[in-house]
Amino acid sequence: MNTPSTRTDLELGPSIDGRYVLTGLWLRPGYSLTDTSQFRDDAWRLEAAVTQAHVRSVVVNFDTLAAPYRLPAKELCLAMLSGPLPAGERRQSVVGIGSTFVEVRKFLHWLTDRAPESGRPSVPTLGSLTAADVLDYHRHLMTLSVGFGSRENSRRAVCMLWRYRTCLTDTLSFDARRIDGWTMHKPGTTENATGRIPELVLGPLITWAIRFVDDFSGDILAAAAHRDDYRSRRTNGRYGRNSGAAEALEHYLSRHKAENDPLPGYQGRPNMQQIAAEIGTGRNGLDTNPAIRGKVLACAARVGVTDYTWMPIAIEGRLHGRPWIDGIARQHPTKSYLHLQRMLHIACYIVIAFLSGMRDAEIKHLRRGCLSTARDTDGTPYRWTLTGVAFKGEADPHGVTAEWTVGAPAARAISVLEKMHPHGRALLFSHPPGSQKVRPRNDATVGVLTTKATSGQLKDFAIWINSYCTEHALTESIPLVNGQQWVLSTRQFRRTLAWFIARRPGGSIAGAIAYRHLSIQMFEGYAGTSDSGFRAEVEAEQALARGEDLMAIATDHLHAPVTGPAADLAHYRLDTFAAAAAFSGTVITDSTRIKRLMKRSDPAIYPGTFALCVFDPDKAMCQPRPDQGGNVLPQLGHCQPLECSNTALTTANLDALRTEHHHLEQELTTRADLPPLLDHRLRERLRRLVDFLDRYSHADPYIDRTHKGKR
């Protein structure tokens, strides 16, 4: 049996109990080392050393451990925080150390709770453990309903009790990684396990989020501005700067009587606080003066009071041509300005998260002024960039500066957030102003929403959407998925965007760059979910979509023949495809039958915007590539319809080419300041496009009218 060492690299001594465990670490502004935990404490609070603003609390509790394990557990945590690192070990973040401790604690609890055995102490020392003991724990992990990653984290934590052996008074006497049967082989797929948001959920979710940003935000921000004015009036009245209050009250009550307009109410009574603010005085002046209070109550008896105190703002936002809400109240279950402000806040998060692919931690560190807009010479914006901080995979615990290119809706969401927060608040995902969650703690980072809080707001937003749709008889609610409400999480937006990016031509390369992945394969693993692999799933989905398009083209080509250099071959293949489908004037819409048809009789025709590719790899100019099964496929993202002999043209293709012709002409006409080389290339492309349309449009009147005489 291994005898526990009494000397460690941590230099334990009589003073170790009073040592502050965060000594030498960076602390959040406003924290003092003397406010932090000491080694002797049964629970260490570590959030003072956390660099990520959205992390509110990190606590490691030792009091649930058996007494013999508390000291080595504390020594391990202290070593991971600031002790000497084992060779090749990187310093973990404070959050990572908290997660590692949770897994170590699971192992130590298992040692204590496992079934007793003759000759084995109920709480064995770590040094007395054998390979058989850790293999028993390995078998225990295999019985748990968790994924490969969770088991690997648990096993890695056990190895820490060997890796940090020079810092522990009681430690494993062997490296578990060298035991036969301990190492687990990775499953065949390396795909990320986070679920994508189903499209039937994503559609209404993004639609409503953008509506909040574009259509509803003005009213919500106006209500917030009125709230600030309301508070200012209360403050002025409190300090006696309310000369003329009596006259103001008389005028206020007279106006309500003349218009038979109910007074602001709360729980069936006049809202004295609101009335005082509107006339610019303090509430005490109304409550404590019986004569004045009597006038207010008499007016209320005559004109009545409202069920809720509505803000005196005009609703400007429209939905389907009508005001989206009848009013915004000071206090209301669903229409209060605070509730709607929270919905606007999470709507901005949804738009930014989905259109940027940023992680939750990265979004939570966006600051005022993070948006950069690139404009052309006419001042028209064409690119929006967010500058923030990336943490994952970086050696610096404070993160590194990173940029993300986003769409216009995300840029508008940033603008809304900057208007929502007061100028002194830098972090855009702090709790909204007026929220009960904003604590006057040491630093501004305390007010940033945690991941858990954001997940709760996502749930509330989905509930608001469905409640609103029910109240207004709209069919734009978020449907159930397999009979249950879809549970949204912050990780799903990045994952879902990856799926959409990767389905585009060249998307795997673009996604690897945008997601800061080290390889295309890493991005494909992140973007996919199927056991067969992401690329195979995408290609199967694309084949189904192509089959549906070809079914429609095969029925139309007899009435609207295709043209182009590959027209004859296209007609032959489409006729063969139609015969294989046994057409009788109807279109097959069943996806299973279409998949079977495409697998059996794929005509190797690929519909595109500007051309119908009648694929022959020997003639293709797009540098064809093989799929996972070794089949050579066209690179539609590199299609060259004006030059390639595989090109056939449908009516829709000709329309798209004509639109391109119009855009080129417009660009050359309106942009006299184009660089000479670009001007030459655009004119050359226009010339080739005109020739191509003349050749294959069969003397279409559009061509005669638009193109003749321009060469």
691-704 pLDDT per residue, tens: 999 888 764 433 34
114 belongs to a structural domain: yes
Q: Rounded to whole angstroms, how far apart are CA atoms 168 and 179?
A: 22
Which tokens go with 78? 């202290």
pLDDT single digits (tens) 107-160: 999 999 987 887 788 899 999 999 999 999 999 999 998 888 889 999 999 999
Element (H, E) at 32: none
The mean pLDDT value for 385-390 works out to 93
Q: Are 292 and 256 in contact (CB under 8 A)?
A: no
The mean pLDDT value for 75-80 works out to 95
375 belongs to a structural domain: yes
Q: Does residue 302 carry a pLDDT above 70?
A: yes
Q: Rounded to whole angstroms, how far apart are CA atoms 460 and 334?
A: 11
- Is the four-CA dihedral 249, 252, 255, 259 of positive or negative sign? negative
Instruction: Report the range of poorest mean pLDDT among 299-303, 351-355, 470-474, 628-632.
Output: 628-632
- Residue 22 sits in the same domain as residue 42: yes
| Average pLDDT taken over every residue of the chain | 83
Question: What is the Cα 408 distance to its own chain's centre?
Answer: 16
359 belongs to a structural domain: yes
Q: Does residue 495 carry a pLDDT above 90?
A: no
* Residue whose entry in the numeric block shows the structure tokens 């109304």: 286
Q: Are 295 and 248 in contact (CB under 8 A)?
A: no
Q: Are 185 and 94 in contact (CB under 8 A)?
A: no
- Residue 602 sits in the same domain as residue 579: yes
- Residue 28 sits in the same domain as residue 72: yes
- Residue 310 sits in the same domain as residue 356: no
* Nearest to 448, CA basis, from 457, 434, 460, 438: 438
- Residue 443 sits in the same domain as residue 585: no
Q: How, if at all, do strands 625-626 and 59-61 pair?
A: unpaired
Which tokens go with 243? 């000369």
pLDDT single digits (tens) 643-700: 999 999 988 899 999 999 998 898 888 877 778 888 888 899 999 999 999 888 764 4
CA angle 557, 559, 641 (to 5 degrees): 40
Question: How many helices (H) does the chain have, and how many strands (E)?
Answer: 23, 14
- Based on the number of CB atoms within 10 Å of its own CB, is 400 exposed (0-12), middle (13-18) or buried (19 or more)? exposed
pLDDT single digits (tens) 33-62: 999 999 999 999 999 999 888 888 899 999
For position 122, what pLDDT does the model report?
A: 86
Q: Rounded to whole angstroms, how far apart are CA atoms 331 and 71?
A: 52
- Residue 65 sits in the same domain as residue 150: yes
In the chain, what percentage of residues exceed pLDDT 90? 43
Q: Are 295 and 252 in contact (CB under 8 A)?
A: no
Of 563 and 706, which is predicted with more confidence?
A: 563
Rounded to 10 degrees, the C-alpha dihedral 387/392/395/397 comes to 70
Of 269 and 536, which is predicted with more confidence?
A: 269
Q: Are 343 and 234 in contact (CB under 8 A)?
A: no
297 belongs to a structural domain: yes
Count CB atoms within 10 A of the CB of residue 147.
11
Q: Does residue 3 carry a pLDDT above 60?
A: no
* Nearest to 41, CA basis, from 19, 24, 72: 19
End-to-end CA distance of the chain: 94
**pLDDT confidence band for 426 (50 / 70 / 90):** very high
Of 437 and 176, which is predicted with more confidence?
A: 176
Instruction: Compute φ and ψ for 600, nearest 5 degrees.
Output: -90, -35
For position 696, what pLDDT does the model report?
A: 87
Reported in sequence order, the residue ranges of 23-134 that DSSP labels E, i.e. its strands, are: 43-45, 59-61
Q: Does residue 295 carry a pLDDT above 90?
A: no
252 belongs to a structural domain: yes
pLDDT single digits (tens) 230-287: 665 555 554 344 556 778 888 889 998 999 989 888 788 888 888 887 777 777 767 7
Give me the residues paired with residue 322 across strands. 319
- Residue 285 sits in the same domain as residue 152: no
Secondary structure in 3-state letters for 469-533: HHHCCCCCCCCCECCECCCCCCHHHHHHHHHHHHCCCCHHHHHHHHCCCCCHHHHHHHHCCCCCC
For position 707, what pLDDT does the model report?
A: 41
Q: Are 311 and 328 in contact (CB under 8 A)?
A: yes
Q: Rounded to whole angstroms, how far apart are CA atoms 414 and 430?
A: 13
Q: Rounded to whole angstroms, how far apart are CA atoms 401 and 365?
A: 11
Q: Does residue 531 carry a pLDDT above 50?
A: no
Of 451 and 516, which is predicted with more confidence?
A: 451
485 belongs to a structural domain: no
DSSP state of 194: P
Reported in sequence order, the residue ranges of 175-325 that DSSP labels E, i.e. its strands, are: 265-266, 269-270, 318-319, 322-323
200 belongs to a structural domain: no
* Residue whose entry in the numeric block shows the structure tokens 């207004």: 472
- Based on the number of CB atoms within 10 Å of its own CB, is 288 exposed (0-12), middle (13-18) or buried (19 or more)? exposed
For position 443, what pLDDT does the model report?
A: 41
Count CB atoms within 10 A of the CB of residue 592.
9
- Residue 361 sits in the same domain as residue 371: yes
Q: Are 668 and 683 in contact (CB under 8 A)?
A: yes
The mean pLDDT value for 374-389 works out to 90
Q: Does residue 562 carry a pLDDT above 90?
A: no
Q: Rounded to whole angstroms, how far apart are CA atoms 405 and 84?
A: 40
197 belongs to a structural domain: no
In the chain, what percentage of residues exceed pLDDT 70? 82
Which tokens go with 24? 């030498």
Q: Are 493 and 350 in contact (CB under 8 A)?
A: yes
**pLDDT confidence band for 585 (50 / 70 / 90):** very low
Q: How far is CA 139 from CA 114, 133, 171, 229, 361, in A?
A: 13, 10, 21, 65, 35
- Residue 350 sits in the same domain as residue 301: no
* Nearest to 617, CA basis, from 626, 609, 608: 626
Q: Rounded to whole angstroms, how far apart are CA atoms 462 and 204?
A: 9
**pLDDT confidence band for 342 (50 / 70 / 90):** very high
For position 584, what pLDDT does the model report?
A: 42
- Residue 73 sits in the same domain as residue 130: yes
Question: What is the Cα 21 distance to its own chain's centre?
Answer: 35
* Residue whose entry in the numeric block shows the structure tokens 């526990």: 4
Q: Does residue 209 carry a pLDDT above 60?
A: yes
653 SS3 class? helix
- Residue 541 sits in the same domain as residue 584: yes
Of 373 and 708, which is predicted with more confidence?
A: 373
- Residue 509 sits in the same domain as residue 377: no
The mean pLDDT value for 87-112 works out to 93
Q: Rounded to whole angstroms, how far apart are CA atoms 672 and 591?
A: 51
Q: Does residue 13 carry a pLDDT above 60?
A: no
Q: Does residue 578 carry a pLDDT above 70?
A: yes
- Based on the number of CB atoms within 10 Å of its own CB, is 520 exposed (0-12), middle (13-18) or buried (19 or more)? middle
pLDDT single digits (tens) 590-600: 667 777 778 78
Reported in sequence order, the residue ranges of 47-191 that DSSP labels E, i.e. its strands, are: 59-61
Domains identified in the chain, total number: 6
Select from 146, 178, 210 the last residue of a domain: 178
Select from 262, 287, 316 the last residue of a domain: 316
* Nearest to 534, CA basis, from 186, 193, 148: 193
Q: In what order do the strands lie in the sheet with 647-648?
A: 605-607, 612-614, 647-648
Select from 152, 178, 204 the last residue of a domain: 178
Domain that holds residue 514: 490-529
